[in-house]
Structure 1
Amino acid sequence: MAACKTLAERVSARWDASGGLPSQLPDDLRARHQRIYAEALARARAAGWWPPEDEDG
């Protein structure tokens, strides 16, 4: 359990350092984030998910 807490704290610290914005991550982490996000989005869409339409416009 302590290892999970330590990992969560490390992840949180990295996100805090970038202001929570993927575009502000260091190059290596930004590339990993983009790859993981794109793969997850592709899997979700293949499973039938599509983002809801913007309710404001």
Structure 2
Amino acid sequence: MPPDLLRLDIVVPVLIYCALLVWVGRGLSWTQKLATAAVTLALIICVLLVERGWL
């Protein structure tokens, strides 16, 4: 596996995000959970792209 494929600066925030989504999303419907997940993942991707200078 190439070293860039498994990077802790990407994996750890995603795992923490998933745990928080489960905890916060207890009172949300499935549609709201999916919308929250999509928006947050899009923000994470945008931050990573800007941080790495790809945008």
User: Normalising by the residue count of structure 2, what TM-score does the alignment of the two structures yield?
Assistant: 0.46
Greater helix share, structure number: 2
Larger radius of gyration: 1
User: Normalising by the residue count of structure 1, what TM-score does the alignment of the two structures yield?
Assistant: 0.45
